[in-house]
Structures are given as structure tokens and as C-alpha cells.
């Protein structure tokens, strides 16, 4: 319940939509909302315009089906429900290393994208390090990931040794497609696939595609506080239909400094990876849930990395990868690839400074 309440609070901070309406340009239709609590360990909130209650009911059903699909397929914590329409999921795949397993196209496509992003980020995004992530989470964060206190030295050293005991091959699994049949083979017992750093954004992108495909211009999707996809804002037509997106301050000390910056955007996605929700302290540093696939440790360069771009799934993965890159490598990667991937970046550094890599979006520092 604590995790759900935190997500709700941060989602409220993230999307500010209260504004005076310009009724001269009022679009036809009514705004409807949908809240989902049971998928991907997060609180999902969707608002969209529909012509009537019947259309809204159909849209809600389709949106829930999308999140349910990727929850069932991508979870590494539970087997498929007995009534699932799918063949298998990541949990079951992880129990059968060195076996070729037939999978559904939806999961195959998600894994193909994850593998492409591993290559594009030189391994800084790698879904095969689930055992390493689990070692840090179980060692210092506890089951709910909300341990904001100092870690005893013996616990920290034991956790680090456990994490470093794994050896993940560069090619951790093989994917195959043969005449419409899809399969995966996990190649090493140390490999545990964890899609947590991409599946939520990937599902959100599928929902966005669905709404855009219906020619729905006004919508917002918030998957927790860290991944949002936006159309236009019906409540800010006098400002061109933008959303005011507040960026949570990761080093806030009181209610007055809950956010550090603001961007005004529409028809875009925004994703943040950060160390301010799940961490414990050791020697003054935050040891968090974002583990580098290169060093097998949580790195200490930044508090948050926020990406702005078209594809929520892509942003989900890239923000995770960039979070573990040292500043020089980070900046080189962004300079080289930002235009190709259509991304902009706002980085809240560990020293409290903010670095921006922006071309079209205006950022307002409100500290």
C-alpha cells in the first residue's frame, strides 16, 4: 500500500493540469479516466477524450488488456495465471536455462527491442542481469525497496560480494523466429531476465499508439510517476494544449521543495530514472535499485535522469542505461545518439547541479 500511495502522490506532482479553459476552442467529447493498480507493480492513471460512455467503456477495456498483456508476459516474479492465453512468460523462462522455449510474438518483439538497445548502449542496458539486481535489492533494500537508512558494513560487503559473484555472458540469450513461430534460449544459469526497466514504458507506448490510432488528440497516461505519455491537454487550450510537467526534486528536504523544475510539453513522452524512491545509505552514498550491467553495482553519478521523446518504451530503457554511465561517457553518448533517437535529456547530478541537453523543450529551474 505504501508503494501505491507514493506513486499516487508523485503522479499528482508530475502532471499539473489545472488551468482556465478557453471555451471558444473547446473540442467535442468528454474526458474519462481509468485507474489500474494491479499491473507492473505500479499505479497507472489514464485520461482520455471519448464521444460517449459506450466508446469510453471500450477504450478502458482495451487499455487494461494491454497492461495486463505485458504484465503477464514480462513479470519475473510469478507464473502465468492458469487461464492466461499466453504460452509462457519471463518467470517460467528463467526457470529453464539452456532450453529452447516457444514464446508469443508480443514477448518476442519486446525482447528483440531490449536486445537492440543493449547493443545500442554498449551493454549499459541489459535485461539479463536480474540476479545481480535481486542481490542488491534483497541485500540492502528489503522486499518493498523503501529502506531509507544506513546499511551496516557487514551487510553492504556481503551484498556486494553476492552481486559480484555472478558472471553474465555478453550474449545471454538467443531469439529465433521461424515461419511465425518464436522462441528463446537462455544460455547461462547465471542469467535471469528482468524486463522491469522497459516493460512499463513499452506497454505505455502500446496504449499511446492505441489512442492515437483512434484519432484521440487529448489524453495523458501516467505509469507511476516515472513514465508518462501525453497527447494534448484539453484544460490548457489557451496555452496550445500543453501539459505542465513538474520534475520531482530527488534531494527535497521538505514540502516546499517537492519539485525542482518544470517543462511544458504535449504529444510527447517523459521518463525519469532516479535514486530517490528506492535506496539505502552506505558511507553517505545512496545504494539504489538501478544496477549497472557493467560494474554490477549501483553507480553514484546522478540523482535523476529525465528523457523527453516520442517512444515511452525507448525512453524507459535509455534513461536506465544513461543513469549508469559516467558523465563523460554519458555526454558523448547523448551527443552521438540524441538526434537519431529523438531524445532530449535533463540530468540532476549528485552534487545538486542540473545539466540539460535540450533542443526544442524549454526547462524552467524553479528551485
Distances (CA, A) of 279 to 16, 141, 213, 292, 310: 27, 6, 39, 15, 29
> Distance between CA atoms of 233 and 279, rounded to whole angstroms?
34
pLDDT reading at 77 higher than 60: yes
- In this predicted structure, what is the pLDDT of residue 148? 57
178-224 pLDDT, tens digit each: 999 999 999 999 999 999 999 999 999 999 999 999 999 999 999 98
Angle CA(307)–CA(223)–CA(117) in degrees, nearest 5? 45
What is the per-residue pLDDT for 10? 40
Q: Is 360 helix (H, G, I), strand (E, B) or coil?
A: coil
Model pLDDT, residue 255:
53
Phi first, then psi: give them for residue 32, nearest 5 degrees: -120, 160
In a domain, 157, yes or no: yes
**Helix, strand, coil % (nearest 5) of the chain?**
35, 25, 35
Residue 19 in this model has a pLDDT that exceeds 60: no
**What are residue 307's phi and psi, to 5 degrees?**
-115, 145
**Chain centroid to CA 32: how far?**
24
Q: What is the pTM of this model?
A: 0.90
Q: How many domains does the chain have?
A: 1
Is the pLDDT confidence value at 7 over 70? Answer: no
DSSP H or E run through 259 = strand 259-265
pLDDT tens digit sequence for 327-360: 999 999 999 999 999 999 999 999 999 999 999 9
Q: What CATH number does residue 130 fall under?
A: 1.10.3980
Residue 223: inside a domain = no
Q: What pLDDT is attached to residue 278? A: 80
CA–CA distance, 272 with 312 (Å, rounded to integer):
11
* Residue 2, in any domain of the structure: no
Task: List all residues 6 or more positions away from 25 whose beta carbon is below 8 Å from its beta carbon.
Answer: 237
Q: At what angle do helices 312-323 and 105-120 cross, to 10 degrees?
A: 40
Structural domain that includes position 117: 90-186
pLDDT per residue over 39-61, tens digit each? 988 999 999 999 999 999 999 99
Residue 272 pLDDT class (50, 70, 90 cuts): very high
* Interacting residues of 7 by C-beta distance below 8 A, sequence separation 6+: 42, 43, 224, 225
Q: What is the pLDDT of residue 236?
A: 94
| pLDDT, the chain, mean | 90
CB atoms under 10 Å from CB of 215, counted, come to 6
Alpha-carbon distance values, 91 to 72, 87, 188 (Å)? 9, 12, 15
Q: Which pLDDT belongs to residue 254? A: 56
pLDDT(300) > 90: yes
Amino acid at each position: 500500500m505504501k508503494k501505491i500511495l507514493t506513486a499516487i502522490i508523485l503522479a499528482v506532482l508530475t502532471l499539473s493540469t489545472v488551468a482556465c479553459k478557453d471555451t471558444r476552442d473547446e473540442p467535442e467529447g468528454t474526458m474519462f479516466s481509468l485507474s489500474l493498480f494491479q499491473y507492473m507493480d505500479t499505479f497507472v492513471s489514464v485520461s482520455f477524450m471519448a464521444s460517449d460512455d459506450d466508446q469510453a467503456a471500450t477504450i478502458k477495456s482495451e487499455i487494461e488488456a494491454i497492461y495486463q498483456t505485458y504484465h503477464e508476459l514480462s513479470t519475473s516474479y510469478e507464473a502465468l495465471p492458469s487461464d492466461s492465453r499466453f504460452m509462457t512468460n519471463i518467470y517460467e523462462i528463467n526457470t529453464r536455462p539452456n532450453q529452447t522455449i516457444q514464446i508469443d510474438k508480443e514477448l518476442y518483439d519486446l525482447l528483440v527491442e531490449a536486445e537492440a538497445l543493449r547493443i545500442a548502449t554498449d551493454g549499459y542496458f541489459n535485461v539479463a542481469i536480474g540476479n545481480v539486481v535481486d542481490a542488491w535489492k534483497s541485500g540492502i533494500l528489503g522486499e518493498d525497496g523503501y529502506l531509507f537508512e544506513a546499511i551496516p558494513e557487514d551487510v553492504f560487503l556481503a551484498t556486494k560480494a553476492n552481486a559480484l559473484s555472478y558472471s553474465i555472458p555478453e550474449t545471454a540469450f538467443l531469439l529465433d523466429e521461424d515461419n511465425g513461430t518464436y522462441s528463446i534460449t537462455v544460455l547461462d544459469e547465471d542469467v535471469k531476465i528482468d524486463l522491469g526497466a522497459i516493460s512499463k514504458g513499452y506497454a505505455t507506448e502500446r496504449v499511446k499508439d492505441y489512442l492515437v490510432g483512434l484519432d484521440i488528440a487529448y489524453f495523458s497516461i501516467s505509469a507511476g510517476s516515472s513514465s508518462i505519455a501525453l497527447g494534448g491537454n484539453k484544460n490548457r487550450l489557451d496555452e496550445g494544449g500543453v501539459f505542465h510537467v513538474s520534475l520531482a526534486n530527488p534531494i527535497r528536504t521538505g514540502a516546499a521543495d517537492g519539485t525542482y523544475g518544470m517543462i511544458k510539453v504535449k504529444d510527447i513522452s517523459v521518463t525519469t530514472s532516479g535514486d530517490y524512491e528506492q535506496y539505502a545509505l552506505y558511507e553517505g552514498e545512496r545504494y539504489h535499485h538501478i544496477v549497472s550491467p557493467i560494474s554490477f553495482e549501483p553507480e553514484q553519478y546522478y540523482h535523476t535522469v529525465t528523457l523527453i521523446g516520442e517512444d515511452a518504451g525507448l525512453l524507459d530503457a535509455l534513461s536506465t542505461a544513461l543513469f549508469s554511465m559516467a558523465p563523460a561517457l554519458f555526454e558523448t553518448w547523448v551527443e552521438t545518439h540524441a538526434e537519431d533517437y529523438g531524445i532530449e535529456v535533463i540530468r540532476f547530478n549528485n552534487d545538486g547541479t542540473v545539466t540539460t541537453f535540450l533542443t526544442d523543450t524549454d526547462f524552467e529551474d524553479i528551485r
